[in-house]
Amino acid sequence: MKREVIHTNAAPAAVGPYSQAIRLGSMVYSSGQIPLDPETGEIVAGGIKEQAERALTNLRSVIEASGSSLGQVIKVTCFITDMKMFGDMNAVYAGFFGENPPARSCVGVASLPKGALVEFEAVATTD
């Protein structure tokens, strides 16, 4: 199977030695997306709702750059710094994935890069 590095300017550039995503055959594995504005490289202003919106928009951009879509996402992992924000994050998330959402895990963490409140990574298919 061919291994392809995925990159798009519609999502923030990697801030370390990793790719935005890798496509291997028909499978796509994204790196975690935090709420960075791709133009400024800064965390978006606001709270969990604004940050979840930006991080999921970044994730969608990376997934679409791979030739897939949010409708073809199989699994999402969410990392959140305070589970008290789960309800607000979940409401934003539902708007991106609709009635037939992918499998998901949500993990509470002590901190995330650049002080982000939330991060999302996904596995998708191009089939």
For the chain, domain boundaries: 3-125
pLDDT at 91: 97
Residue 93 has pLDDT above 90, yes or no: yes
pLDDT band at 14 (very low <50, low <70, confident <90, very high): confident
Chain segment 59-84, per-residue pLDDT in tens = 999 999 999 999 999 999 999 999 99
CA–CA gap between residue 59 and residue 93 (Å, rounded): 11
The CATH classification number of 3-125 equals: 3.30.1330.40
Q: How far is CA 56 from the centre of its chain?
A: 5
Taking the model in full, what pTM does it have?
0.97
Torsion region of 68: left, alpha or beta (phi above 0 gives left; psi -120 to 50 gives alpha): beta
pLDDT at 98: 87
**Can you tell me the mean pLDDT for 81-94?**
98
18-to-25, 50, 54, 75 alpha-carbon distances in Å = 19, 25, 20, 20
